[in-house]
Amino acid sequence: MMNHTIITIGRQFGSGGHEVGNRLAERLNIPLYDHNLIRMAARDLGISNEDAGRVDEMRLGNVLSSYYIGMGDYTTFMLSPEAEKPLSDKVFETQSAIIRKLAERGPGIFVGRCADYVLGGDYSNVVNTFIYAYKDDRINRIMDIYKLSEKEAVDKIKKIDRERRLYYEGRTDRKWGSIEANAILLNSSLLGIDGAVDALEAIYHKWENR
């Protein structure tokens, strides 16, 4: 059992979940792991970042969203005659091993990548969190960040949320964003980014002092 605390953050697109993770990591002075996990997995597998990125949580989700319409198991889509195992499975397994290794090394914050699922079981010091927000707030945030029209922001939110959900549910036995899969659900519309960071910081210190 670990003697330090890990926080995982799942998030709706536009909820500010990644910003919450960044600010929390800075405040606690602990590492944040997100897209860098893909680069680590690519290095360990000896493949390019681009190849690994094809099966990242959003890009693979995009493949799945099309493939699920009339097909079956997602791993079949990723198979090639020469491959003994789908690249998607190899990257996920390697990335999961890296997540476990990093979690055992010391405290940290993991954003996405099914980290809550990967660190289930024996990892009792893991606080699984999901950040969500009201639709209008998410639209306004995405319009501001990406300089999009309201319709473009709505379409982007739908697309990326669908990709994340399909990636997560395709890799776990859990429903994305559900209360069953998370210890804490935080509404950033009500709390604000700073309020969500404050709440997680307090929870982190409480768990560290148990």
Q: pLDDT tens across 164-189, in order?
A: 999 999 899 899 999 988 989 999 99
**Cα separation, 49 vs 171, whole angstroms:** 21
pLDDT at residue 53, rounded to an integer: 74
Q: In 10 A of CB 29, how many CB atoms?
A: 7
pLDDT above 60 for 62:
no
If pLDDT is split at 50, 70 and 90, which confidence band does 39 have? confident
Query: pTM (2 decimals)?
Result: 0.83
Please state, in angstroms and as integers, the Cα–Cα distance from residue 80 to each residue in 74, 83, 86, following that order: 13, 5, 7
Q: Sort strands 126-132 and 6-11 into parallel, antiparallel or unpaired.
A: parallel
Does domain 6-208 sit in CATH 3.40.50.300? yes
pLDDT at residue 2, rounded to an integer: 64
pLDDT at residue 51, rounded to an integer: 74
If pLDDT is split at 50, 70 and 90, which confidence band does 119 have? very high
Q: pLDDT tens across 74-114, in order?
A: 443 444 444 567 777 888 899 999 999 999 999 999 999 99
Q: pLDDT tens across 2-11, in order?
A: 678 999 999 9
- Reported as half-sphere exposure (CB side, CA atoms, 13 A), residue 106 has a value of 7
Q: In 10 A of CB 183, how many CB atoms?
A: 14
Q: pLDDT tens across 130-154, in order?
A: 999 999 999 999 999 999 999 999 9
The domain locations on the chain are 6-208
